[in-house]
């Protein structure tokens, strides 16, 4: 604009560039320095402001709000300044903060764990498995080695308990011959993961524990990815066959381990003990390998999709089981 504008004209040049002429003149005009706010004539002197701050720091006023301090001073027939001036003096000395009960989010460093060999970093988590009846669940505990992606221990129980988690971690530790100071165990902020029995056990075994950041769902990706891989397999039990034995068999098939199944109940009955799977230390396979977690052949995938389609047919289908989710179950579809 400064090179072509004087020669061709400011208005034609701005029109060709699609720039308003007022914007051009406003930008080339020097900006004046911001005017300094004049000091009010009734402003307190520096000595008076220091005296107000000293009064606010007194033990009887240090835990009170300026409104309470101002009212108590008036009861004593003493006036230093207004309530708003007290707030200004406290703000100048960085002594005012948010007093409402609001949630604060401090910055948490992301956990960074490096495993160069097996049995250096384990990750564990708990997930729910649907039971045979409505509102019934089984709880699957899985401990995973993040270097080899090998399941070093797992358990199915009817409840989430810190005592069961402590037992599983201790048995996995002994079975694989872990030494003190060798292992780091990573988990999220679940109640069982942060419980006192588990913390004391890890302290006694010499295991370093780490946790995910609060309100961050992807700081434990290995366990979460393993849970989704297991639940999306075709042999995972459907709603009509979700007994404890079936859940244990499907879990054993997906995890590639042979559990020592105790006395099991069926249906909604409570088993006498939990189902625990602890693979032997000599059964470890190649690095980066998950037993049985391979790609499905197309025929098996198509058969599984045909038996249990993810998306039902559209509305208007003759099969009443695949009714549209937007269609009322008490009225027939409009023609």
Residue listed under structure tokens 């089984």 = 138
Distance (Å, whole) CA 37 – CA 292:
75
Residues 86, 131 within the same domain: no
Number of domains the chain contains: 2
Residues 51, 162 within the same domain: no
Residues 65, 130 within the same domain: no
Residue numbers of the domain that contains 88: 46-92
Residues 258, 175 within the same domain: yes
Residue 52 lies in a domain: yes
Task: Count the alpha carbons within 13 Å of 13 in the hemisphere toward its beta carbon.
Answer: 14
Above 70 in pLDDT, residue 329? no
Inter-residue contact 273 to 260 (CB < 8 Å): no
Of the listed ranges 9-13, 176-180, 247-251, 290-294, the least confidently predicted one is: 290-294
Residue 295 lies in a domain: no
Confidence label for 187 from pLDDT (cuts 50, 70 and 90): very high
Q: 170: domain CATH number?
A: 3.30.420.10
Residues 55, 126 within the same domain: no
More confident residue, 236 or 280: 236
Residue 249 lies in a domain: yes
**Which parts of 121-239 are beta strand (E)?**
121-130, 137-145, 150-157, 184-187, 208-211
Percent of the chain beyond pLDDT 90?
36
Residue 326 lies in a domain: no
More confident residue, 284 or 46: 46
Residues 186, 64 within the same domain: no
Residues 152, 193 within the same domain: yes
Residues 70, 169 within the same domain: no
Confidence label for 281 from pLDDT (cuts 50, 70 and 90): very low
């Amino acid at each position: 604009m400064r090179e072509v504008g004087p020669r061709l004209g400011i208005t034609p040049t701005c029109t060709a560039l699609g720039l308003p002429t007022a914007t051009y003149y406003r930008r080339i005009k020097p900006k004046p320095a911001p005017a300094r706010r004049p000091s009010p004539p009734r402003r307190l002197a520096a000595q008076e402001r220091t005296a107000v701050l000293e009064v606010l720091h007194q033990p009887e006023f240090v835990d009170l709000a300026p409104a309470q301090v101002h009212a108590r001073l008036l009861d004593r027939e003493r006036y230093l300044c207004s309530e708003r001036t007290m707030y200004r003096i406290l703000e100048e000395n960085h002594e005012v903060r948010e007093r409402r009960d609001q949630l604060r989010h401090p910055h948490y460093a992301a956990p960074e764990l490096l495993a160069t060999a097996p049995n250096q970093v384990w990750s564990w988590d708990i997930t729910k498995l649907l039971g045979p009846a409505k509102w019934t669940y089984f709880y699957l505990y899985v401990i995973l080695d993040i270097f080899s992606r090998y399941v070093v221990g797992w358990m199915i129980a009817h409840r989430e308990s810190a005592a069961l988690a402590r037992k599983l971690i201790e048995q996995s530790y002994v079975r694989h011959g872990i030494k003190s100071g060798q292992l780091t165990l990573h988990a999220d902020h679940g109640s069982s993961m942060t419980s006192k029995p588990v913390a004391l056990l890890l302290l006694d075994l010499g295991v370093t524990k780490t946790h995910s950041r609060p309100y961050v769902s992807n700081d434990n990706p290995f366990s979460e990815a393993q849970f989704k891989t297991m639940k999306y397999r075709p042999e995972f039990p459907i709603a009509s066959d979700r007994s404890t034995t079936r859940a244990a068999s499907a879990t054993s098939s997906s995890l590639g381990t042979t559990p020592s199944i105790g006395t099991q109940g069926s249906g909604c009955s409570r088993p006498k003990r939990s189902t625990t799977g602890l693979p032997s230390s000599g059964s470890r396979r190649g690095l980066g390998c998950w037993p049985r977690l391979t790609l499905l052949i197309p025929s098996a995938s198509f058969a599984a999709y045909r038996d249990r389609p993810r998306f039902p047919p559209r509305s208007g289908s003759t099969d009443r089981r695949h009714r549209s989710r937007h269609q009322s179950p008490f009225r027939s579809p409009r023609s």
